[in-house]
Amino acid sequence: MIIPAIDLIDGQVVRLYQGDYAQQTTFNLSPLAQLQSYQDQGAKLLHIVDLTGAKDPEKRQIALIGELVAGLSTDIQVGGGIRCEQQVKELLELGVKRVVIGSLAVKEPALVKSWLVKYGSEAICLALDVNINQQGEKIVAVSGWQTGGGKSLESLVSEYKTVGLKHALVTDISRDGTLQGANNELYQELATTYPDINWQASGGIASLDDVVAVRDSNADGIIIGKALLIQNFTVEEAISCWPNA
């Protein structure tokens, strides 16, 4: 599945390089118009990241997200700055299909597992952003990639599988925003090891060849942000490589 994405800071569409707020590119685009374009081209799921909220949960862009959900008919998943159950409930009540949980899934697994149990496996997606070291260990980062989490990807997945984890978004931080292609070996490994989880690939997509390579890794979906914003290809062209299920 092709999952077009936009990142938002203070209401503006942006991209960061490897999660670094100091390396920000701002696009002169209307968030709603951009997402509507993706929807009109056939996207079945859209991905929104509240980067303002990820950095400061007190400044989550909830009003804007509400406007975006109201202006779209496509399913939407939203992440960034989720720290408590009230925020999960708030997004779901706005009509968000799936809430993406990142840092908290590493820091407070018992809490996030309780949300999976309460709201169901379709309502929660884990965002597991990894730094892969020289030993090949996949260490999950937290706090907008500003600090290391100290837990391995495999240990977290094993823990969450006990409560029915179904959706997980995995980003190789070294690839994000680089347009150097995805880490397809990583997604191949995850799809083989955990076939009952729907894996969303993210980071590094630059071309339609990259889209095909992720498809062939057996990932279930692919998040595409920067490549669409800089018009390397269109959503329609990406879907032609990987028809939405």
Q: Whole-angstrom Cα distance, residue 172 to residue 223?
A: 12
Helix (H, G, I), strand (E, B) or coil at 173: helix
Does the annotation count 7 as an active-site position? yes
Distance separating alpha carbons of residues 195 and 166, to the nearest angstrom: 10
Q: Where are the alpha helices (DSSP H) in 95-231?
A: 103-107, 109-119, 153-161, 184-193, 208-216, 226-229
- Give the type of residue at 93: E
Q: Smallest Cα–Cα separation from 68: which of 101, 97, 41?
A: 97
Burial 86-97 (b: 16+ CB within 10 A, else e): ebbebbbebebb
Of 7, 50, 172, 210, catalytic: 7
H/E element, 241: helix 235-241
Catalytic residue among 50, 129, 172, 210: 129
SS (H, E, C) 65-77: HHHHHHCCCCEEE
Unique residue bearing structure tokens 């685009």 = 29
* Active site amino acids: 7, 129
